[in-house]
Structure 1
Amino acid sequence: MYAGRIAELAPANELFRAPLHPYTQGLLRAIPVPGVTKRGSQLPAIPGRVPGLIGTMHGCAFRDRCELASEECASSPVPRYAHGSDGFVECFMAAPGEALQ
């Protein structure tokens, strides 16, 4: 969930195996790996600032922090694509499955 919207939904094993939304990918990169991540090392961070939630938001709320963002990410509605067997991802840039909207 990002800025009050579900960015990606999938069964846990599918989400961890193949995250599609850039926000989900960034969150998973920031998880320390036991036995691999050195104690005290700096974890990867998602650059930028979380958008304000007051007012109307158009397009993808994550676009200002996304390394894949393009001009179309500012347009609405953001497409929803199938993710795995029982989920979806809302992203112009995610590797799309079957369009749901």
Structure 2
Amino acid sequence: MYIAMNRFKVHPDHEEAFKKRWLDREVLLKTVPGFESFQFLQGPRYEDYVLYASHTVWVSYDAFIGWTKSEQFRAAHANAGEGKPLTVGPPVFEGFQVLQNISN
């Protein structure tokens, strides 16, 4: 199992637009082999930004790499960087190999 996360520092004045951009977009992940789940997360609020993260679970690292090379990935990111910048700097990617998973 592999977890792919992107952290976003969102300018407080652009928070609603950022959330809308994520919540209103077409979700293509379900069509990709190896996709398990996705969460869009809101984190703590700081003086100059609000932390958000995308959290995607894949059956394996190879499945994640397959996503990054897919037509669905290109379509999902086709408009990235267009429009008004909503974040303070670029997103920060973090990838994790799951060593232990405990669930009900």
Higher relative contact order (CA closer than 8 Å, sequence separation 6+): 2
Q: Larger % of helix: which? A: 2
Q: TM-score, normalised by structure 1?
A: 0.29
